[in-house]
Structure 1
Amino acid sequence: MANSANALPETGFLRLPQIVGNPHANPPIPAIVPVCRSAWWLGVREGRYPKPVKLGPRTTAWRIEDIRALIASL
Structure 2
Amino acid sequence: MKRTIQNSYIKVKIALCNQRGDFYISDGVKVIIAVVLGALLLGAMTLIFNDTIIPRITQEINKLFG
Q: Same fold (TM over 0.5)?
A: no
TM-score, normalization by structure 1: 0.20
TM-score, normalization by structure 2: 0.21
Bigger strand fraction: 1
Bigger helix fraction: 2
